[in-house]
Chains A and B, each alone.
Chain A
Amino acid sequence: EPEVTQTPSHQVTQMGQEVILRCVPISNHLYFYWYRQILGQKVEFLVSFYNNEISEKSEIFDDQFSVERPDGSNFTLKIRSTKLEDSAMYFCASTGGDYTQYFGPGTRLTVL
């Protein structure tokens, strides 16, 4: 069964450093998303991406964040200068337009 994959599974970084989180969505899907979940809290929407551009972004997704689909398979989330409060689990999701969103296993980001 097709699935969304994410790398790395765990990323530890120093405050102020740049990180890139990678996702490979399900191959025939058209809509891509990044969500984050701070430990013990709910899943929060960050950004949606369709047709090679951002469809919508939340207030969390400020200038420190960017997304890219550099080739036909990868979907990346970059955080330019990480802060302590960026520590969270980051989930990538995709949908083919049948409304069902499939989540990847997540990347746990720890900012020290």
Chain B
Amino acid sequence: QQPVQSPQAVILREGEDAVINCSSSKALYSVHWYRQKHGEAPVFLMILLKGGEQMRHEKISASFNEKKQQSSLYLTASQLSYSGTYFCGTDKGSNDYKLSFGAGTTVTVRA
């Protein structure tokens, strides 16, 4: 079962903040956040494993709620380089760690 991501797209001016959500109807083992630039491979940002956990990658942070059914990615003081499509990948604890990805959120940061 794929996670549900929202919003589908967001447009920001440099310095503005945004939140991207990733949710599941069932508890997850982990949530992985990736950013993909047009025509490139997804690049790993961070992973959250524990309920209530918060992680940070430069000025991008993420949280995982206590029930492990929702994760949020926070783009703080956005930079032009933050533009891209952000995907959450979820792992339900299968032995092979395979990921199911959300539909993605396209972030456009303008000067």
Closest A residue by C-beta to B40: A105
* Tier of interface size on chain A: 20 to 34
Contacts of A106 in B (CB 8 A): 40-41
Contact mask for chain B residues 12-32; partner A; CB cutoff 8 A; 1 contact, 0 none: 000000000000000000101
Asked if A44 is at the interface of the complex by the 8 Å CB criterion, the answer is yes
**Complex Cα distance A104/B40, Å?**
9
Contacts of A50 in B (CB 8 A): 95-96
**Complex Cα distance A93/B91, Å?**
15
Contacts of B1 in A (CB 8 A): none
User: What DSSP secondary structure best describes chain B's contact surface?
Assistant: loop
- Tell me whether A91 and B97 are in contact (CB under 8 A): no
Most buried by B among A42, A44, A55: A42
With contact pairs A42-B101, A43-B87 given, residues A101 and B44 touching in the complex (Cβ less than 8 Å) = yes
- Tell me whether B42 and A103 are in contact (CB under 8 A): yes
Select one of B49, B94, B97, B103 contacting A101, CB under 8 A. Answer: B97
- Tell me whether A42 and B102 are in contact (CB under 8 A): yes
- Tell me whether A45 and B32 are in contact (CB under 8 A): no
Give the B-binding residues of A (Cβ under 8 A): 31, 33, 35, 41-45, 48, 50, 55-56, 91, 95, 97, 99-106
Q: List 20 A-B contacts (CB under 8 A).
A: A31-B97, A35-B99, A42-B87, A42-B102, A42-B103, A42-B104, A43-B42, A43-B101, A45-B99, A45-B100, A55-B94, A55-B98, A97-B97, A100-B44, A101-B99, A102-B44, A103-B34, A104-B41, A105-B40, A106-B40
